[in-house]
């Protein structure tokens, strides 16, 4: 079953086309990545699919529901029932505890308290963050913040988990931990995931990669059984795409302790 269907979406800012007639679909349980140089339209695409932005043309269906037909006031309800978001900047609420942040979608959806508590325990045990629940956001490390953000993004069992450069603000150790979490959500929980990254190491966790160039879908590749060959294919594709190659590697350079 298709979880996401995208039909010729375009996004135009002024006269500038940022997305140009993009079509693809994602089946239930797939782990798909979107790659492309900086400025190629990755974030705009993800936001358009997640109803945070409205495409100028074209249509998006999530589980056979056309997001185009949803009115503004229904969009936020739709998002917090059907979708989960993970961003590079974590986007947690600093004035709330970890627990309150994670529970937010369930509170807004007016779930009952026993089911909220049970679900909170499940996701936080899965992610190994039970001990952080009473802590405030500003006392957490980047990796801990992103784990809390992932817990918030999956607590309501969304149909589709969308992530935009989720390791973009993390060092390589925390990045690996976060990617292992995505991997386990994919393998164990069969969560359908769409992740944006410009990092080939991060991208190699995905089963399928879509490449964007100047707002157009340029190509796609599948991992299949050949993990090693897949990584080389990613590097080859990035070389083909051109742009500044250094840009693709910035995330994996070691971070200096100031």
Q: Using the minimum distance from each CB to ligand ADP, give the nearer residue, 12 or 70.
A: 12
DSSP code at position 166: T
Q: Using the minimum distance from each CB to ligand ADP, give the nearer residue, 34 or 137.
A: 34
Residue 44 interacting partner from Mg ion, ligand ADP, none (CB closer than 5 to 8 Å by kind): ligand ADP
Cβ atoms of 60 and 9 closer than 8 Å: yes
Residue 36 interacting partner from Mg ion, ligand ADP, none (CB closer than 5 to 8 Å by kind): ligand ADP
Cβ atoms of 98 and 134 closer than 8 Å: yes
Q: Tokens standing for 68? A: 């185009």
> In this chain, which of 4, 34, 36, 43 binds Mg ion, going by CB under 5 A?
43
> In this chain, which of 4, 9, 18, 22 binds ligand ADP, going by CB under 6 A?
18
Could you tell me if residue 232 is left (phi over 0), alpha (psi between -120 and 50 degrees) or otherwise beta?
alpha
Q: Which of residues 19-78 bind ligand ADP (CB under 6 A)?
A: 36, 38-44
Residue 39 interacting partner from Mg ion, ligand ADP, none (CB closer than 5 to 8 Å by kind): ligand ADP
Nearest to 82 by CA among 94, 69, 67: 67
Cα separation, 61 vs 181, in Å, equals: 27
Q: Using the minimum distance from each CB to ligand ADP, give the nearer residue, 33 or 105.
A: 33
Nearest to 193 by CA among 40, 46, 21, 9: 46
Q: Using the minimum distance from each CB to Mg ion, give the nearer residue, 98 or 196.
A: 196
40 alpha carbon, distance to own chain's centre: 17
Rounded to the nearest whole angstrom, what is the least distance from the CB of residue 21 to ligand ADP in the complex? 15
Contact window for Mg ion (CB under 5 A) among 42-50, 104-112, 119-127, 208-216: 42-50
71 alpha carbon, distance to own chain's centre: 24
In this structure, the strands spanning 193-196 and 31-35 are parallel
Residues that bind ligand ADP in the complex, under the rule CB under 6 A = 13, 18, 36, 38-44
Contacts with Mg ion, residue ranges (CB under 5 A): 42-43
């Amino acid at each position: 079953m298709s979880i996401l269907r995208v039909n010729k979406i375009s996004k135009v800012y002024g006269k500038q086309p940022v997305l140009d007639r993009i079509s693809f679909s994602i089946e239930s349980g797939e782990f798909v990545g979107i790659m492309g140089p900086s400025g190629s339209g990755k974030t705009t695409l993800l936001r358009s699919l997640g109803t945070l932005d409205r495409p100028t043309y074209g249509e998006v269906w999530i589980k056979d529901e056309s997001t185009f037909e949803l009115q503004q006031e229904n969009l936020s309800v739709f998002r917090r029932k059907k979708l989960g978001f993970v961003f590079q900047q974590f986007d947690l609420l600093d004035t709330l505890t970890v627990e309150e942040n994670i529970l937010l979608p369930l509170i807004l959806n007016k779930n009952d308290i026993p089911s909220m508590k049970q679900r909170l325990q499940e996701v936080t045990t899965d992610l190994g963050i039970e001990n952080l629940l009473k802590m405030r956001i500003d006392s957490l490390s980047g990796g801990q913040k992103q784990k809390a953000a992932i817990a918030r993004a999956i607590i309501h069992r969304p149909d589709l988990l969308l992530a935009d450069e989720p390791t973009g603000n993390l060092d390589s150790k925390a990045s690996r931990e976060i990617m292992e979490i995505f991997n386990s959500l994919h393998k164990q929980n069969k969560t359908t995931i769409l992740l944006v990254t410009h990092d080939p190491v991060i991208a190699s966790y995905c089963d399928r990669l879509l490449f964007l160039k100047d707002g157009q879908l340029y190509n796609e590749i599948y991992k299949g059984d050949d993990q090693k060959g897949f990584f080389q294919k990613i590097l080859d594709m990035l070389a083909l795409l051109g742009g500044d190659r250094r840009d693709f590697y910035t995330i994996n350079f070691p971070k200096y302790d100031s």
